[in-house]
Structure 1
Amino acid sequence: MTKMIAELIEQRFGLPGKAGQDTPAEGELAAILSHRTHRRYTDMPISEDLMQQVLAAGLSAPAKSDLQQVAILRVENAGIRRAIAELLPSMPWVAQAARFLVVCGDSRRIRRICELRDIPFENDHLDAFLNATTDAAMVLQNLIRAADAAGLGACPISVIRNHATRIAELLALPDYVFPLAGLCLGWPSREGFVSLRLPMTLTVHVDRYNDTNLDAEIDGYDRRRDARHSIPENDWRQVERFGKPSLYGWSEDKARQVSVPERQDFGAFVRRQRFKLD
């Protein structure tokens, strides 16, 4: 019996629905709905030919006003790769993946082009940072999609922003260039699993933002997600501070995660890269 898109939607959200009941689960839409993040890889290398294909596909993403404000750093030097991995000891896949990239927002290039053309750059404010961030984020997503299409596994690494100054030093990032995320690429050593997402009743709004039913929706989501992939007790965060709840679900885990300050110096780093954030 042919699998339908509706089955993939139910797998992704843990809720039955009518959308896609008559659409076969094939092509790009099915691939997106079936996406898995991979953190375990074989030792098989990725050929340079395939890397060029993935990079070309990644850079085929949309770009704000066609400004193309992204830079991809391929970390090929073993010493630099090791230094980055040592900053992230809880993420051994950074060292183990066949390839590691750092995707950066790049507002330097357009400023240099303005200098070359003797035309003033008149948008030196917060939106310049956001535009470069958006371009880099879209390329990052396209790289992940391209990796999936090629049979590779991918894992984005946002925690490199915890070490933005050191990453910038290691990669010699100039003014107006900043690291958005790392990206591990490799051949998966296991299938991985489909991560359950929040119900669209919380994330998709019509005309006006509305979260009046947040409590009930989050409780239901926590229970569906726990039934599929319960968080092991040895992975519970800050038990000594917050104790052991009867249900340690997604919301408990994420609330505890953001209770710990992170990247408090990132704004200062971005300003040192000469961005104006007003």
Structure 2
Amino acid sequence: MLERLLTVLKARFGSAPALTEAPKGVDVLADMADRRVMRRYLDKPVDPALVETLCAVALSAPSKSDLQQTDIVIVSDKGQREKLEALLPDNPWVKAAPVFLVFCGNNRRHRLLFEWRGRPFVNDHLDAFFNAAVDAGIVLATFVAAADRAGLGTCPISAIRNHAEAVSEILGLPDHVFPVAALGMGWSSFAGVMSPRLGLEVTVHRDRYDESGLRDKIAAYDKRRESVQPYKTQRYVSTFGESDSYGWSEDKARQYSVPERAGFGAFVRKKGFTLD
């Protein structure tokens, strides 16, 4: 199994750590390193009790100061699903997913403790929002890992934040509760495709942050990714034209050349957060 783990890591990152002895759980590590985003599913329902079980496993994840600032909304009502799907016409895999969940940061419960005990909420600044958002992200990642172990495929949907206010209204989210991401889930209809990642020399640092040679390293990653997972289309050709070489860096530069989610800060403040 060590050989499989190293093979998977090399396929993902272009190189693998010099690991010579299989650690405990090497088979699980190999499976985790080999995980695939899944946007195509079998026409087969997922037991609601299994969905709730995965929620419980995910909510067992670490939580900042035991504040437990994450909620998961399981959207199973047809009308509710249709309202959310209508907000995401560019994400057809949302409709395809048998299960649809929304992961929310929740700083409301913490604040209510102060209200119930008649104490001032003195830490009313950016960290209150940040802690809840990070907690929700940790729970989302844990849910994805748990679903993988159960044989289910998942696809996180950050575009839910493009319509944060509408989502909040549809789900009835009160002040200090906000959507972080949605997640589609179902039984996988194929093995999925591995997305190569930036090399470990770019994202793993020793003692201090280091971006020496970064441009060359990203150029090398562009070539590696284009050779194994070329982009099928190029973004905004009418603006930028067709590129002979279209790698990850060009795609991401084009993707975020268009304003997106500019109103999210205003939404968060409307939800009652002070972002100072």
Bin for the TM-score computed over the shorter chain: over 0.9
Q: Secondary structure at the match of 2:110?
A: helix
The aligned residue for residue 21 of structure 2 is 22
> 1:229 & 1:236 partners in 2: Cα distance?
13
Which residue in the other structure is 1:48 paired with?
A: 48
Corresponding residue for residue 246 of structure 2: 248
| Structure 1 residue 114: Cα displacement | 1.8
**SS at 1:156 equivalent:** strand
**Mapped pair 1:267 → 2:265:** yes
Q: Is the 8 A contact 1:157 1:183 kept in 2?
A: yes
Whether the 8 Å CA contact 2:2–2:21 is kept in 1: the answer is no
- The one-character-per-residue Cα deviations of 1:194-226 (angstroms, maximum 9, x if unpaired) are 110001111112222221211110111011101
Q: Residues 167 and 18 (structure 1 numbering): CA distance in 2 closer, same or farther, change over 3 Å?
A: closer
SS of structure 1 residue aligned to 2:136: helix
Deviations 1:166-212 (A, max 9, x none): 00110011000110000111001111021100011111122222212
Question: CA–CA distance in 2 between the matches of 1:201 and 1:260?
Answer: 30
- Whether 1:147 aligns to 2:147 is yes
**Secondary structure of the equivalent of 1:119?**
coil
- Whether the 8 Å contact between 1:61 and 1:142 is mirrored in structure 2 is yes
Aligned to 1:85: 85
Residue 131 of structure 2 corresponds to 131
TM-score, structure 1 as length reference: 0.95
Residues 1:168 and 1:18: Cα distance change in structure 2 (over 3 Å):
closer
Q: C-alpha deviations, 1:39-91, integer Å up to 9, x for none?
A: 00111001022112211111011000000111111111111111111111121
Residue 265 of structure 1 deviates from its aligned partner by 0.4
| Unaligned residue ranges in structure 2 (runs of 5+) | none
Alignment of 1:204-215 (within 5 A): 204-215=204-215
Contact 1:84-1:167 within 8 A present in 2 as well: yes
Amino acid across the alignment from 1:118: G
Contact 2:2 2:22 in 1 (8 A): no
Where 1:130 maps in the other structure, the secondary structure is: helix
Distance 1:171 1:86, change over 3 A: same
Contact 1:4 1:20 in 2 (8 A): no
CA distance in 2, matches of 1:93, 1:248: 25
Runs of 4+ in 1 over 6 A off after TM superposition: none
In the TM superposition, what is the alpha-carbon distance from 1:18 to its structure 2 partner?
A: 4.5
1:63 aligned to 2:85?
A: no
Which deviates the most, 50-59 or 4-13?
4-13
Taking the aligned partners of 2:237 and 2:92, their CA distance within structure 1 comes to: 24
For this pair of structures, how many residues does the alignment match?
275
**1:111 corresponds to which residue?**
111
Deviation at 1:19, TM superposition (A): 2.5
Q: Please, which moves more after superposition, 1-10 or 63-72?
A: 1-10
Q: Are residue 277 (structure 1) and residue 275 (structure 2) matched?
A: yes
Task: Show the counterpart of 1:238.
Answer: 236
Query: How far did 1:117 drift?
Result: 2.6
Runs (5+) with no aligned partner, structure 1:
none
Mapped partners of 1:212, 1:242: distance in 2: 29
> What's the C-alpha RMSD, in Å, of the aligned pairs?
1.5
Q: Deviations over 1:8-61 (max 9, x none)?
A: 21021123x443343278432112111111000111001022112211111011
**Contact 1:85–1:94 (CA under 8 A) maintained in structure 2:** yes
Question: What are the residue-to-residue correspondences of 1:194-213 with 2, within 5 Å?
Answer: 194-213=194-213
TM-score of the aligned structures, taking structure 2 as reference length: 0.95
Percent of residue pairs identical: 49
User: Partner letter of residue 66 of structure 1?
Assistant: D
Cα pair distance change 1:2/1:171, threshold 3 Å: closer
